[in-house]
Structure 1
Amino acid sequence: MKGIYKKYVKNERGSQAIEFVAMFPLIILSILIIWQIGLIAFSLVVGESAARDGARAAAIHDPEWMEVAKRSASGIKVNVTGGPGTKDAHVFVEITAPIVKLPFIKEMEFTYTVDAVMPMEEKPNG
């Protein structure tokens, strides 16, 4: 009996499969977290670009400046505020970053605001 017990205790066959099964969920979770960080960074860059485009359109007296900012951030949920002023066009873009859906984690939302300022140009004659 002692020999059979010793044979199975010293046997290491299958240990790699067990280690893989134990580590696989952590590897997948790490990949999803890295993907989420990439999505947040991407939406931040797109939001900054949208704010800059909207401020530029407002600075040249384009009445569609808000639509310009929204079109510039296509595919990302944005809310555009601000607009042309007397000296500067100041546009704020509130961005809601896309979220990777993870099991066992409830609603998450990453919302942040970026802004851009452009000096107003002279109104065209006409």
Structure 2
Amino acid sequence: MKEKHGGGDGMRHLLKYVKNERGSQLIEFVAVFPLIIFAFLFVWQMALVAYTVVVAEGAARDGARVAAVAGIEDPAVDTAVHNSARGLDVLDIPKNVTASSYGEEVSVNVDVALKTINVPFVGELDYEITGSATMPYESEEDD
């Protein structure tokens, strides 16, 4: 009769357990899933940044057009900026008139709050984006 050694059976059982790959796909998925979510949130945040920049530049351009015709003190400038930047929080609208080699120019800057994604454990991110535009001042003397 052959004698069984307890060590041989235990080693065989251990090797069988180590080579067993059941559940490995689930573990890999659980390890990679947060990275996929983070990448998606990063891409979404970059889209929000791009949207904010484009809208701020457009609002500044619309404000500069109105200011070039009506003057920088006209309340229609602020109205044009707010209407153009619909959906964004307009923080400030600094305006000025400068002289250049082409004559007087009207500059309008639009400061807007950047929309951000609320990421747990990171909190609110407060950034502002500035859009600016300059147009030639159309004085009434030119008519």
TM-score (norm 1): 0.89
Equivalent pairs: percent with the same residue? 42
User: Could you list the runs of 5+ residues in structure 2 that have no partner in the other structure?
Assistant: 1-9, 99-103
1:85-96, aligned counterparts within 5 Å? 85=97, 87-96=104-113
RMSD, aligned CA: 1.7
Q: Distance in 1 between matches of 2:34 and 2:119?
A: 12
Name which one, 1 or 2, has greater alpha-carbon Rg. Answer: 2
Return the offset for 1:11: 0.6
Per-residue CA distance 1:33-56 (angstroms, 9 max, x = gap): 111011001100000000000000
Query: Which has the higher mean CA deviation after the structures are superposed, 94-103 or 109-118?
Result: 109-118
Q: Distance in 2 between matches of 1:38 and 1:78?
A: 19
1:8-87, aligned counterparts within 5 Å? 8-61=17-70, 63=74, 64-83=76-95, 85=97, 87=104
User: Could you list the runs of 5+ residues in structure 1 that have no partner in the other structure?
Assistant: none
Q: Given that residues 52 and 88 in structure 2 are in contact (C-alpha distance below 8 angstroms), is that contact kept between their aligned partners in structure 1?
A: yes
Return the offset for 1:84: 5.9
Q: Distance in 2 between matches of 1:97 and 1:68?
A: 20
Q: Tell me the matched-pair count.
A: 124
